[in-house]
Structure 1
Amino acid sequence: MSDSKTVFDAMLNRFDADEADDMEAIFQFDLDDADSYHLSIADGSCIMGEGEHDDPTVTLSMDLATLKEVMSGELDGMAAFMQGKIRADGDIMLATKLTQIFPN
């Protein structure tokens, strides 16, 4: 199992359906140094897919270490974005809700 899959599996386990209520979104994660994944959120559930999605709502590009730090709470996502560690394309406001939807 790849390191990145482990991180996404952990995110799925922490998925907060209440926070994602009424949300329909596809988060594409393009990892510079690992496999890419996307998370599809709809109807209070979250499904993980491998590779690139055809039509993501927001695409987040970073390296695996940055993803781990943001999802563990070590690094603030907005700070990482401002420092250039995360590049976002699409609905950037949606990206700010990531740690609410997947609390640690």
Structure 2
Amino acid sequence: MAIYEKAVEAFKNIFEKAKSSLPEVSSWNKVYQFIVEDTGEEFYVEISGGELKVEKGKHSNPIATITGKAEVLEKKIKGELDSMAAFMKRQIKITGNVLDTMNLKKLLDAGLKG
């Protein structure tokens, strides 16, 4: 299964679980672009109007872009790799609003604990 399909499944589960412990997600209007270096895949996660979409391709105006190898991104989405550690070890690159990716980390943390 490609990283995109894994991301769709994982993010939908994470989002549903996170909604109760992170109620502010219902007011978010954010798009996070993901670029998978070793496969060339691109997808984005859009959170808007209390809904989450994961779409293939490139979004025209993401708040931040996260780039990394498939294995690293998959571990990040599963909660097996701390986002900050991956960033500091240069396993992932972030461009755009780096600080706002902390909201994505909060979402992942809340959804993976649920």
User: TM-score of the superposition, structure 2-length normalised?
Assistant: 0.81
1:83 paired residue number: 89
- Going by fraction, where is helix more abundant, 1 or 2? 2
Q: Label 1:33 to 1:4 Cα distance change in 2 as closer, same or farther (>3 A).
A: farther
1:97 CA drift (Å)? 2.2
1:32 maps to: 37
Following TM superposition, where does structure 1 have runs of at least 4 consecutive aligned residues deviating by more than 4 angstroms?
none
Contiguous gaps of at least 5 residues in structure 2: none
Q: 2:28 aligns with which of 23, 27, 30?
A: 23
SS of 1:87's partner is strand
| Matching of residue 41 in structure 1 with residue 41 in structure 2 | no
Give the SS at the match of 2:100.
helix
Q: 1:79 to 1:97 in 2, by over 3 A?
A: same
- Provide Cα deviations, 1:45-98, integer angstroms capped at 9, x if missing partner: 111111111111111001111112112222110010011011011111121222
Contact 2:30 2:62 in 1 (8 A): yes
Alpha-carbon RMSD across the aligned residues, in angstroms, is 1.6
- Unaligned runs of 5+ residues in structure 1 are none
SS at the partner of 2:27? Answer: coil
Q: After superposition, where does 1:66-81 map in structure 2 within 5 Å?
A: 66-81=72-87
Give the secondary structure class of the aligned counterpart of 2:6.
helix
State the aligned residue count. 104
Query: Percent identity of the aligned residues?
Result: 26
